[in-house]
Chains A and B, each alone.
Chain A
């Protein structure tokens, strides 16, 4: 067996809690992460020779603490702040420590992209290289981003603690946003190495499940887990052999991942069972669940989906939600009603350059027999499409419209 891969695996398992318990000791997340990295490097050097210790987590923590004490002795300062280090026995991180780490990594003083990098690095145990490859950014850039983020946290004196109760909803929302950003970065990838980015989506789901176990009373965490898993269940079918997108309608449902669907539906059920007001992630998960439950596209419960989009438009109004809602209107009330709903959105400048607006409008016009207008609309949408595949697809539909 490859020793290095084993050390990496052990690291992935333990690093989050290691950084969390070190942060509790030194009260500085940046320093804690540096010490944890020192211990990891030591493990990479020693374990392939000596074998994996019986208690790898304990070994890493003891080694990191020793590094911390060495550094403090060397610098000969800050004795009082780190007095704890000499006294306390190594104690593993509590759930609260790990949760505090998640909230610090996703703190609002940081930029969105720094939060994602820091979360993957500190909680997920990914290397700078892995994060760089996943985000299509040089690993040096990720390294700088992480250093800068640690400095920002230190300068802002962000405490290593859970948010106050009155802050919690907003802070939790920020955490969920980061996880979903990581997920979509992997899932919705239009370029880059698909397999690396798939790992990124899996990492986001894993972080979501960890968070759900830490905050079992928060429905939105389960909602986000459900949303990610239900979307990811379609991973294999959403693109064709040449990477061209395959519409939901045309996907081979027998290849959807039933394990992810089952787990996602269970997570959604848990969110609902908590009997608290549902948030936007849970409502989106409920929409995804309607698709997952339908054996064939024709079996889709569009009335339920339309009701959920109505709810979502209240909870988290956005032009994209409005646009997706028109698709549900089409299947419930027909193309004319959908076109009317779409025209209400037409004034929104955010949709003006969004290719899917034109793609949907073109499709509706076509269904109404207005072929010339449809072709024009589809061509315009093609000119705005972000990928070659989508452009080709729209051009082909435009050409077919006037045949």
Chain B
């Protein structure tokens, strides 16, 4: 089980003292948070991709992640998310491939469509084509990372003849990809088709819905023959604020909650905590709540936490990381490990992917010979469809 922190890089006024960090301060704070996350024992740091204020998450995540690769030793670097709809897949292939080399393989990506309307026209795209863009662009990216010279013609970018990505992925193995979607079954299907991971950023959604999306992904993962459904790769979001004493946590966090971007000025902290994974309380409460996620989605590989938004000052964020490192993560790791059957894989690392490839067990998009998808395909061809 991997635990990580993910950030959207929002620049928000601290409602308790009226101060707002500058862009430079927020960027520097992000570096400090990522480094401290590694120090306290988190495995993963992920950044969003943003093209509009008040966010300083980079327009190109590899800019930030390359710097972090040089500043950290073990931390797995990731995105939440890389905008597959509005970013040229050729640039994604080139930039992340280079970053994968710099980071010594400590890199994976999460693909997302993005829900900020104007970003699409800013990059010459149409938001109504969100799903087709995600499908076609990722298919090109997949081919660029897995084939030598690519010939390509699609709807959304200029054609390619004999195009080879440089640098080629490290050790000939592409970074692992998660596909993130809150409510589009097409994206769960896409993740299953390629044998990739599925990330449900459930921080604003109720668990009945999360369970339904993850179940669909798991069922289709098995259909495409990449493994049994309980062996598919699932990552979840989460959100927490802790103090040793739960009343202090609620008292300290309430002004940040009430004024937060996205959900502030809406439901009460108490209602929102019931409806979503947000947990404000003692470390023990965060442990207990997080363990229940498994009851909804089965054994999963990665748990991300949002801890640095809504104007929380750096000092408070670093204290949260300390509490996670000293009290929460050791217990969660032990408890999740005790519950996980042996045949459920851990989150993929570069070394694991290289080894899987050496054994010739990398997933075949659409299903390996003998999978149910393959059998159905043979039958439909036999009927001349």
Partners in one complex: no
Binding site for B on A (CB under 8 A): none
